[in-house]
A and B are shown apart, each in its own frame.
Chain A
C-alpha cells in the first residue's frame, strides 16, 4: 500500500521568501509518479509539478521545483520568491505504475504568505 505524509499542517512565510513544503512517501513499487497540487480558497485543484521515480533530474516548472530524494523517499516542493497568490492548500500525491492511475494524497499543508 502507498502512503503520503505531509507533516506541516500550516506554514506562514514572508512574501518574496522561498518556501519548502515537505512530502515523504512510502511504496514498495520501483516505478511511480509524484505530483503536487494547489488548492486555493476557491476550491479547485490545480496541477503544479510532476516527478517520475526514474527521472534523474529534479522537476522544475517556473517558480516551482521538486526536490526529489529517492533514497530518503522525499519529494519536497520548493516555491521560489513567494507571492501573495501562493496562499493555498498544497497536496502531495503519488500514482503507481502499470496503468494504475489511482492517486494517493497526503493530508495537505496550508501555506499563508504574509505581506
Chain B
C-alpha cells in the first residue's frame, strides 16, 4: 500500500495563479480531508468528503474548491492564489465510523506552498 500520496511536494505560485493539489489513497477509505498547517495554529480543516460525490466545508474553506469523483482521489483547487494561502497542506483519509473506534486518520507527506 502506498497509503496517502500528495503531489507536488513543493510549489511556488504568483498571486492570482490557480493550481490543483493532488491527493490519492489506496486504502478504500470513505473519508478524506484537507488541512492547512500554519505556524502556531496547528492544523485547520479546509474541506472534507465522506464519499464519492459528497463534499463539505471545514473551518477555513474560502479560496479553495474540492471535488470527489472517485473513492481514491480528492484534489484541492486554489482558485486565485493569495499570499495568505502560503502554508503546508496535508491530505488525510480514514474509515467512517463512530468516535469510540480506534482507527486513526492517515496523513500524506504534505505540500509546501508559497504564494508570492
Q: Which residues of A contact B (CB under 8 A)?
A: 4, 9, 29, 31-33, 35, 37, 43-45, 47, 50, 52-55, 91, 93, 95-108
Contacts and interface: CB of A to CB of B under 8 A. Distances in A.
B99 A97 contact: yes
Interface residues of B, number: 29
Contacts of A91: 42-43
Given A43-B110, A107-B42, 19 more contacts: A31-B99, A32-B99, A33-B101, A44-B107, A44-B110, A47-B104, A50-B102, A50-B104, A53-B100, A55-B100, A97-B99, A97-B100, A99-B96, A101-B33, A102-B58, A103-B43, A103-B92, A105-B43, A108-B42
A20 to B, nearest CB: 19
Nearest to B110: A43
B99 A35 contact: no
A45 B102 CA distance: 17
B31 interface: yes
Contacts of B102: 33, 50, 52
A90 B101 CA distance: 22
Contacts of B114: none
Contacts of B45: 102-104
B90 interface: yes
A100 B96 CA distance: 8
A9 B31 CA distance: 30
A31 B94 CA distance: 18
13 contacts: A31-B99, A31-B100, A43-B110, A44-B107, A45-B90, A52-B99, A91-B42, A95-B99, A99-B50, A102-B45, A103-B33, A103-B43, A103-B45
A4 B97 CA distance: 21
B53 interface: no
Contacts of A107: 40-42
Closest CB pairs A-B (n = 10): A45-B107, A97-B99, A105-B42, A47-B104, A52-B100, A33-B99, A101-B31, A105-B43, A107-B42, A50-B102
